[in-house]
Amino acid sequence: MDKNTDRLKGKPSTIEAKWDLNYEKNNISLPADVLLENVFLLPKKGSALDLACGLGANALFLAEKGLHTHAWDISTVALERLQLNAQHKQLKVLTRHVFLEPDVLPKNTFDVIVITRFLDRKLSNAIMESLKPNGLLFYQTYVRDKLASVGPNNPSFLLARNELIHLFKPLKIVLYKENNLIGDLQCGERNEALFVGHKC
């Protein structure tokens, strides 16, 4: 499911209503490639946050891997569906209904933070501060040079080339993938950048 990144613009009640309506219509959610392709990097235990989680596929995946998992989003509809799925799978996911601002993120709390198809640049420092030492950030979202008409169209909500590297410069780059429009366009991810950063 495509999650635009403008959920933080405007009044919380208006944005929440927009996303509640979106999740009432859509109930398909899969774990992000950045997580699936790099699952071997996850710690054996610890705390994880699926930030702007939507329907929470990443959160469910992290809980299945044995991490103490939190999932935050502005949509109560999405969080309620996530809780039902977690109960069905007999997994524990701690959900939080929240309008994301930098001061909402607690410092030095999570071993893993996962963010997909969401972009609010003003949260970057708070996200890094919320990681514990040795923590990992898994990030995947849309780029301006995308091939398909998926996700947002407003360039304010799309990554410039190599932008994740710059936004999270204090982190050690473990993985960065941004194929852009190079080579065989029928192969590889062409719409999103994938980043894994390590807080040393």
Q: What is the pLDDT of residues 109-128, one digit of tens each?
A: 999 999 999 999 999 999 99
- 29-67 pLDDT, tens digit per residue, is 899 999 999 999 999 999 999 999 999 999 999 999 999
The SS3 of residue 80 is helix
More confident residue, 80 or 13: 80
Ranges assigned E (strand) in 28-171? 47-51, 68-73, 93-97, 110-116, 131-142
pLDDT score of 72: 98
Q: How far apart are CA 194 and CA 95, in angstroms?
A: 25
Q: How far apart are CA 95 and CA 166, in angstroms?
A: 30
CATH code of the region 6-198: 3.40.50.150
pLDDT score of 9: 39
Q: How far apart are CA 104 and CA 130, in angstroms?
A: 10
pLDDT score of 189: 80
Domain segments of the chain: what residues?
Answer: 6-198
pLDDT score of 11: 58
**pLDDT over threshold 90, residue 94:** yes
pLDDT score of 7: 37
| Structure tokens given for 5 | 């990144």
pLDDT score of 3: 36
Ranges assigned E (strand) in 105-188? 110-116, 131-142, 172-177
pLDDT score of 1: 32
Q: Which residues contact 88 (CB under 8 A, 6 or more apart)?
A: none
Smallest CA-to-CA distance from 164 within 147, 148, 141 is with 141
More confident residue, 184 or 104: 104
**pLDDT over threshold 70, residue 87:** yes
Backbone dihedral region for residue 78 (phi beyond 0: left; psi -120 to 50: alpha; all else: beta): alpha
- 167-182 pLDDT, tens digit per residue, is 999 999 999 999 878 8
Give percent of the chain with pLDDT exceeding 70.
Answer: 94
Task: Report yes or no: 117 and 179 within 8 Å, Cβ to Cβ.
Answer: no
